[in-house]
Amino acid sequence: MASSDLLAEPAAIASPTRVNDFSIQVATVNGSGSQTANLVLLRSIFQMGVPVSGKNLFPSNIAGLPTWYTIRANRHGYIARKKEIDLLVAMNPETAQEDVRSLDAGGAVVYDETLKLDQLRTDLAFYPVPFDKIVAEVCPDARLRRLVRNMIYDGVLSRLLGIELAEMEKALTRQMKKKAKALALNLGALEAGFAYANEHFADRPVRFEVSRMDRTQDLILIEGNEAAALGCLMAGVTVVAWYPITPSSSLCETLIDYLRKYRMDPETGKATFAVVQAEDEIAALGMVVGASWAGARSMTSTSGPGISLMSEFSGLAYYAELPAVIFDVQRVGPSTGLPTRTAQGDIAFAAGLSHGDTKHILLLPASVSECYTMSIEAFDLAERFQTPIFVMTDLDLGMNNWMAEPFPYPDAPLDRGKVLTPETLQAIGEWGRYKDVDGDGIPYRTLPGQFGPSFFTRGSGHNAKAQYSEKPDDYTNNIDRLLRKFETARTHVPRPEIDQRADTRIGIIGYGTSHWAIVESRDQLRDESGIETSYLRIRAYPFTHEIGEFIDAHDRVYVVEQNRDGQMAGLLRQELSGEQIGKLTSVRHYNGLPIDARSVTEEIRAHEARMAMPPETSPEDAIVGAEEAV
């Protein structure tokens, strides 16, 4: 079938054009060079002022398996993953047919014409493109064609969707500005794709369109791992010890680049920092703890399997009271699990990481902006409370591009916490390394080479003076003081964000990247079912008093999270009253894909319908009745 012999457009497709409200899925093969084309497409729409988000679903091998990149454009600013795909770019023969069959009626498909996908369905608009023919014309070197051909679909989409070609060229130039030859070849492929679509598809407009807006002015696009690395730099990190693991590797890799650029002594040319790629995650955290003991601001980054290995040193840092900042970019577990899929599955584990009675402080960023600010705050908290601080991001946040306002330059001084000085010693009279002088559970520490007496840092039993002790009273006094310190942290960690509505008795609690699906779901619940909700986003553990007050103010509270077991709900239950616990319902998403609003909406609506139905009514009838009432 010739590429110009297109199927007649079915009546089902003849619906109004959707402007700045659609999702694109690009299905390719891992290692085919599609990342550049996908980022150019994302940035081009962003440069036209339209809110966007990009999600990369890739395999855990090096090359050859299917990969999907999803771009969502939404004029309202919704940036959670959209469950439905509107426009498919099918470049992978292995998945093309399944990808096409998964689309809803009325969608569109741009595809390699050799796949003959237009024979599969009659309720989609198909746009076949002879990629091999076009790439041969623009790229004489056959060895490079595999890496250039993807740019052709960018050109085709530029013409079909109304993405200004100049913005495509601008985004491509930004991506390849240091590679003149590659830039020239890709510009040629981009323009050839545009020309082909202009010639063959001009009379077949797609029903999705990009139109200029002003919603992204002065915003940036950045990955969460990069934002966290920048925060570490601004926090004054001087020691980095790590072991590579997906999806956290790019955090330390980016931080190393920043350190080499901004932390070299201008006079000597020597580094003012230390970076060690350890033999494993056990050694990495051990180095971090040792560096912190010596007074350095130190950190590591890892994911679930690394967190498992770090439990022993995590307990040492908690009990010996040594600062450490640990980034957990969560992925699907247990064991190796799905290394390139996202989850919030380490929450309960990290909160008590160690054997024995242990409680760690967790920070829970929901955005790249908070990856930056909470990274800075993590170092201050680690030194203020002399304890490990876990920054709990996830693959979706860490490895995908998100919109953000430019990050502010920090203007607050570093908080080194309670470091013993001559003036302090004179004021308190007597010093003990683990003595609670102020009643907040936090002792004064000394740093090697600075003022203060020496002492043994112990992970074994000790008394207030750091002397070895197995006396029951010494142990209970120490462990109770650690709990008192944890209680003090409630007034220092980031407080929750709350949108409480006076006209509803239904609340939602979320955290991390679930936030974006919840924001959209609340609008769906209100607009589609007349269900108004309040919302509280947890930003840290230990919990603050606002959470209990929020639960008290509502009859039913849905806790939304991305794990099977409702781990955050479990932590809440440890601190709530029986009456408060009875109000909680878990909404759980754990298939490895970023959580979407529709899944949250459907589960809450179904539960609300069950709550409202008479005993003799089936759940299905209750849901229908609720819809009819609205």
User: Domain tally for the chain?
Assistant: 4
Range of the domain at 620: 497-629
Residue-wise pLDDT for 384-418, tens only, equals: 999 999 999 999 999 999 999 999 999 999 999 99
Domain shared by 480 and 596, yes or no: no
Is 410 part of any domain? Answer: no
Q: What is the pLDDT of residue 624?
A: 54
- pLDDT-based confidence at residue 199 (cuts at 50, 70, 90): very high
Q: What is the pLDDT of residue 483?
A: 98
Cα-flanking dihedrals φ and ψ of residue 343, to 5°? -165, 170
- pLDDT-based confidence at residue 65 (cuts at 50, 70, 90): confident
According to DSSP, residue 264 is labeled B
What percentage of residues in the chain have a pLDDT greater than 90? 89
Domain shared by 96 and 162, yes or no: yes
Q: Domain with 506 in it: what CATH number?
A: 3.40.50.920
* 132: pLDDT strictly greater than 90: yes
What is the rounded CA–CA span in Å between residue 96 and residue 407? 40
Residue-wise pLDDT for 270-300, tens only, equals: 999 999 999 999 999 999 999 999 999 999 9
> Do 338 and 332 form a contact (C-beta atoms < 8 A)?
yes
What is the rounded CA–CA span in Å between residue 530 and residue 605? 10
Dihedral angle over CA of 455, 456, 461, 464, nearest 10: 10
Poorest-confidence range of 172-186, 517-531, 542-556?
172-186
Domain shared by 288 and 381, yes or no: yes
Domain shared by 349 and 268, yes or no: yes
Is 214 part of any domain? Answer: no
Domain shared by 195 and 286, yes or no: no
- pLDDT-based confidence at residue 620 (cuts at 50, 70, 90): low
What is the rounded CA–CA span in Å between residue 403 and residue 496? 22
Poorest-confidence range of 166-180, 301-315, 546-560?
166-180
What is the rounded CA–CA span in Å between residue 207 and residue 200? 16
Residue-wise pLDDT for 578-608, tens only, equals: 999 999 999 999 999 999 999 999 999 999 9
> Do 369 and 407 form a contact (C-beta atoms < 8 A)?
yes
Alpha carbon 384 to its chain's center: 26
Q: What's the whole-number mean pLDDT along residues 245-262?
A: 98
Residue 388, C-beta contacts closer than 8 angstroms, at least 6 positions apart: 314, 317, 318, 323, 324, 325, 326, 353, 360, 361, 382
Q: What is the pLDDT of residue 629?
A: 42
What percentage of residues in the chain have a pLDDT greater than 70? 95
- State the amino acid at position 140 in one-letter form: P
* Residue 227 neighbours by CB distance under 10 Å: 28
Q: What is the pLDDT of residue 9?
A: 44
Match 């009271």 to its residue by tokens: 321
Q: Domain with 184 in it: what CATH number?
A: 3.40.920.10
Q: Domain with 340 in it: what CATH number?
A: 3.40.50.970
What is the rounded CA–CA span in Å between residue 37 and residue 579? 53
What are 576's two structure tokens? 């709530």
Is 417 part of any domain? Answer: no
Domain shared by 277 and 384, yes or no: yes
Residue 107 buriedness (CB in 10 A; 0-12 / 13-18 / 19+):
buried
Residue-wise pLDDT for 426-447, tens only, equals: 999 999 999 999 999 999 999 9
- State the amino acid at position 245 in one-letter form: I
> Do 500 and 471 form a contact (C-beta atoms < 8 A)?
no
* Residue 274 neighbours by CB distance under 10 Å: 14
Poorest-confidence range of 13-17, 148-152, 429-433?
13-17
Q: Which of 489, 519, 539 is the last residue of a domain?
A: 489
The b/e string for 429-447 (b: 16+ C-beta within 10 A; e otherwise) is eebbbbbbbeebbbbbbbe
